[in-house]
Amino acid sequence: MLAFEFMRQAFLASALVGLLAGMIGWFLVLRGQSFAGHALSHIGFAGATAALWAGMPPLAGLLIAATAGGMGMSLNNARHGDRDIAIGLTLSLAMGCGSLFLYLLHGPASTATALLFGNVFGINQQTLQILAGTVLAGLIGLGTIGRPLLFASLQPELAEARGVPVQLVSTCFMAMAGLATAICTEVTGVLLVFTLMIGPGATALRLGLNPVTGLCTSAILAIAEAWGGLTISWYTDAPVSFCIAALSAAIFGLTTLFRRRG
């Protein structure tokens, strides 16, 4: 199957995406922000359709909207319940805007399907370069703020007292979460970013691994699930997004079962 150029591109793209999505996802789950991560992809969807409508590449719109959305969300200091309401409303509004732009666009239905469910086999050389650049930026970002981010996530008040710029760290992190979500959309589509962002991170945390091991495990799992999904899809002809989603859910489910027994 690797004889085909598009397959090699797809494997490369999902490795890049899995690497960043797995690590960012671990932090999102740790911080209890998986719902926010989900909403980011919907904000990205609105951005992508707006970009299409304006005659720009959708990935640009995705990246800009999701990153800005993440930074905006980090400034919302409301209590947990109120925050979920705000995120839910933003998410719906973003999807609504997306459908409006699609309507204005009069584009083919396949455009919407590709955005919603991903189009990993349609990734070209240029997109791959953008993905690589984004992943590099994200990894450099995590390499810089990882330690204070972990501290601020686990013990926010203590971190503040020790002089960690908690708000700045959280805003940087959510901007990076926006980047990761945007590129994840290229593989899994808007609706299924949970599969690569949240599934592996949740599995790694469930295993009770210490932070460094957990982060690496999460990234490896994300890549493995993406590659596994591509392979299954190749042999069964089922949609890639379905295969990745099924694998991600199955691995998380098995881990939970195993941990409960053990």
Tokens of 43: 């904000």
Sign of CA dihedral 20, 22, 25, 27: negative
- Of residues 168-187, which lie at the interface with other proteins (CB under 8 A)? none
Q: Which of 131, 159, 134 is nearest to 145 (CA)?
A: 159
Q: Which of 31, 27, 21 is nearest to 219 (CA)?
A: 21
Does 210 interact with other proteins (rule: CB under 8 A)?
A: yes
Does 79 interact with other proteins (rule: CB under 8 A)?
A: no
**CB under 8 A: which stretch of 62-70, 124-132, 159-167, 182-190 binds other proteins?**
159-167
**CB under 8 A: which stretch of 103-111, 118-126, 151-159, 228-236 binds other proteins?**
151-159
**CB under 8 A: which stretch of 30-38, 114-122, 130-138, 175-183 binds other proteins?**
30-38
Cα 99 from chain centre: 21
Among 77, 110, 161, 262, binds other proteins (CB under 8 A): 161
Residue 254 identity: L
Cα 6 from chain centre: 22
User: Least Å distance between CB 126 and other proteins?
Assistant: 30
CA distance 6 to 1: 10
Does 148 interact with other proteins (rule: CB under 8 A)?
A: yes
Does 253 interact with other proteins (rule: CB under 8 A)?
A: no
By C-beta, is 65 or 152 nearer to other proteins? Answer: 152
By C-beta, is 52 or 205 nearer to other proteins? Answer: 205
CA distance 47 to 58: 7
Among 35, 151, 227, 234, binds other proteins (CB under 8 A): 151
- Of residues 118-147, which lie at the interface with other proteins (CB under 8 A)? 142-147
User: Least Å distance between CB 139 and other proteins?
Assistant: 9
**CB under 8 A: which stretch of 8-16, 28-36, 83-91, 189-197 binds other proteins?**
28-36
**CB under 8 A: which stretch of 27-35, 40-48, 109-117, 127-135 binds other proteins?**
27-35
Beta carbons of 66 and 44 less than 8 angstroms apart: yes
Does 208 interact with other proteins (rule: CB under 8 A)?
A: yes
By C-beta, is 26 or 194 nearer to other proteins? Answer: 26
- Residue numbers at the binding site for other proteins (CB under 8 A): 30-32, 142-148, 150-164, 205-208, 210-212, 214-215
